[in-house]
Structure 1
Amino acid sequence: MTMTQTSAAAVEAAPRHRSRAALASGLVLLAVVLAVVCFFSITLGSRGVGIPTIWKAFTDYDPSAASQTVIREMRVPRTLIGLFAGAALGLSGVILQGVTRNPLADPGIMGINAGAAAFIVFGIMVLGAQDVSTYVWFAFAGAGVATVTVYAIASLGREGATPVKLALAGAAVTAILSSVTSAIVMTNVEALNELRFWQVGSLAGRYFPVFWQTVPFLVVGLIVALGTGRALNGLALGEDLAVALGQRVKLTRVVMFVTVAVLCGAATAACGPIVFIGLIVPHAARLLCGPDYRWMLAYTLLLTPTVLLLADILGRVAVAPGELQVGVVLGVLGAPAFILLVRYRNLAEL
């Protein structure tokens, strides 16, 4: 290589290097923001606590101190579940949008959360499953059944599973499964009172037993999901080119759909069906970092729990001393964002 060619290569590499540095700096900034949001998630609520109380709760715990008990037994597990469940739903949204080539795909719209919720309610109310470690398997089954059903319905016809058909099939399956869930719950008054908050998606009342029984599945799913960036980039080039590059497209799609089922099933088992967050945040990540799915996954990993915890904090302080469930807050905020996404769809093309 000549000196001129070497210089040209160095000039071309410099912008890419600066771009990578900027993207890495963005991740660091997002991590700092997420840490701050976690701090406020622990301190804000109907009972305000300060840093000295938090410090004592972990270094010199006094079980008789109500504020310390609230921190250790309620807000810390609530925040941890929000972190992992938010990340799971966000990465699921990125994978679904990449695999289906549908900018409007997310676990809520495609019926995956509704499937997990319906199977969980069936397991609890009909089969008597009470422990999270038991009904989380119902969540996986429901998420898997919903995924297969939506994709099978959308695949009918000569065009195959187009983005529009996937969205319509997901809406239909969601409506059916939500009706089944409501029918089961409405037949039992005690169940209605017990599950009505959980049905809309909630971090309230989710303590350490729930966290420890779902976090192994979430961790495994998150690790696999973060490793799908290169495969998603290949699919973004088109199926034919991906095959030409040596990618096993069918196997890749199966692995990704299984990963989504695990992530959504575990997240739904932990805090109920939460909508919109897996749809909107991946597009925000795309605006920040560009179309490379490796960076999109990393950005979404930090952005989604930040948004989820902010919505949970807002629900706690907006009607204090009462509380709005996080699913309600995200529904109110996510619906206008969804309308804008549909209205200006050219901004969200994959």
Structure 2
Amino acid sequence: MTSQSTVESTAAKLRRSTHVRLAWMLAALAVVAVLMILSTMIGSRNVGLDDVLAAYGGSAAGFDQAAVAKRIPRTLLVVCVGAALGISGAVMQGVTRNPLADPGILGVNTGASLAVVIGIAFFGLSTADGYIWFAIVGATLTAVFVYAVGSLGRQGATPLKLALAGAATAAALSSFISAVVLPRGDIADLARDWQIGGVGGVTFDSVTLILPFLIVGLLISVYSAPGLNALALGDELAAGLGQHVGTTRMVSAAGAVLLCGAATAVAGPIGFVGLVIPHACRLLIGIDHRWLIPFSAVTGAALLTASDILGRIIARPAELDVGILTALIGAPFFIAIVRRQKVRSL
């Protein structure tokens, strides 16, 4: 009876009006469009809408239009990174059935960071195209390690054990990062600036670098969505419905790690986006991953773009890196989730 009631409860949550979901999706896309325009208008020097539209049309005749042209690749990159982190968080929470799962909390970001710092220190890496493969390998190894440690014991990979394993792993890897960077004064500034997490000074090369990984990761995640819906019922019921639980987890996790590694490589370890966005999306459109994953992409892009704009406003004429803003937004949200009584599973 308990299993049957669980199935019925989950199925009821999956059923939500398509019109409602579509309305929220269109609203989120409209918000992203507005934020992209504002992102190109706001900076150390504000520009008008006419100059923004002219710059998007390819003109850079005046100073203001040239300023907008410089901001366009930054805006596109922050949208891509926000989408990647939003999808990654949604998939990780679905794979682990852990409401605390997030690339930062599970230590995946830190693993990618350590790999990139090692690449900077010992292999002479200095550009995003060099960082990206190191970041993906570091993220993958860390994800496997955290899940293996969290799976030890009778109950397997419970949300609490995964969160603790991720926190402990992130702390240990942070120490290794310090051990690599501190003796190397020649790379300290480069490594420190990258670790804060930011999108300033980027070019279209950074956008074209992350875009293929974003597309592949999105396709893998969307393909895995029905399997993630089955996993929400529990492993035994998912297997009974014909799902290969292990394969579903591995494929889904591969998409999430690919997205997280690529985003970390081009923008640094930006935290909490993958934690906050899926929870907010579930409140609006439900838990069906076929909708949750694309909606997390759009709202993740909106959150990171808004954070980037806010960072420019707060510290004008300088700016706060976007990684600092997302931490300020995400930390209280994380505390609120931890304080909830039903934190053991989704």
How many aligned positions are there? 333
Instruction: Name the amino acid aligned to 2:65.
Output: Q
Q: Among 75, 78, 83, which residue is 1:79 paired with?
A: 75
Unaligned 5+ runs, structure 2: 1-13
Contact 1:87 1:300 in 2 (8 A): yes
Contact 2:197 2:269 in 1 (8 A): yes
Q: Deviations over 1:37-68 (max 9, x none)?
A: 111111111111112222332446346x4433
Per the TM alignment, residue 348 of structure 1 is displaced from its structure 2 partner at its CA by: 9.0
Q: Deviations over 1:242-274 (max 9, x none)?
A: 111111111111111111111011000110001
What is the TM-score of this pair, normalised by structure 1? 0.90
* Separation (CA, whole Å) in 1 of partners of 2:324 and 2:344: 25
Deviates more, 1:326-335 or 1:189-198: 189-198
Per the alignment, residue 67 of structure 2 pairs with 70
Which has the larger Rg?
A: 1
Instruction: Name the amino acid aligned to 2:76.
Output: L
Cα 1:19–1:33, aligned 2, differ >3 Å: closer, same or farther?
same
Unaligned 5+ runs, structure 1: 1-15
Q: Among 142, 148, 152, which residue is 1:146 paired with?
A: 142
Per the TM alignment, residue 282 of structure 1 is displaced from its structure 2 partner at its CA by: 0.4
Cα 1:349–1:244, aligned 2, differ >3 Å: closer, same or farther?
closer
Deviates more, 1:131-140 or 1:324-333: 131-140
Task: Please say if 1:270 is aligned against 2:242.
Answer: no
Per the TM alignment, residue 148 of structure 1 is displaced from its structure 2 partner at its CA by: 0.7
* Percent of matched pairs sharing the same residue: 44
Q: Among 8, 21, 29, which residue is 1:31 paired with?
A: 29
Task: Please say if 1:322 is aligned against 2:321.
Answer: no
Cα 1:17–1:142, aligned 2, differ >3 Å: closer, same or farther?
closer
Q: Deviations over 1:163-183 (max 9, x none)?
A: 111001100111111222223
Q: Among 211, 215, 219, which residue is 1:219 paired with?
A: 215
Cα 1:266–1:285, aligned 2, differ >3 Å: closer, same or farther?
same
* Separation (CA, whole Å) in 2 of partners of 1:62 and 1:123: 37
Per the alignment, residue 151 of structure 2 pairs with 155
* Separation (CA, whole Å) in 1 of partners of 2:146 and 2:58: 52
Residues 213-252 of structure 1 mapped to structure 2, 5 A cutoff: 213-252=209-248
* Separation (CA, whole Å) in 1 of partners of 2:304 and 2:60: 30
Q: Among 236, 252, 257, which residue is 1:256 paired with?
A: 252
Per the alignment, residue 57 of structure 1 pairs with 55
Contact 1:206 1:271 in 2 (8 A): no
- Aligned alpha-carbon RMSD (Å): 1.9
* Separation (CA, whole Å) in 2 of partners of 1:312 and 1:304: 12
* Separation (CA, whole Å) in 1 of partners of 2:245 and 2:174: 32
Cα 1:90–1:60, aligned 2, differ >3 Å: closer, same or farther?
closer
Per the TM alignment, residue 203 of structure 1 is displaced from its structure 2 partner at its CA by: 1.2
* Separation (CA, whole Å) in 2 of partners of 1:217 and 1:60: 26
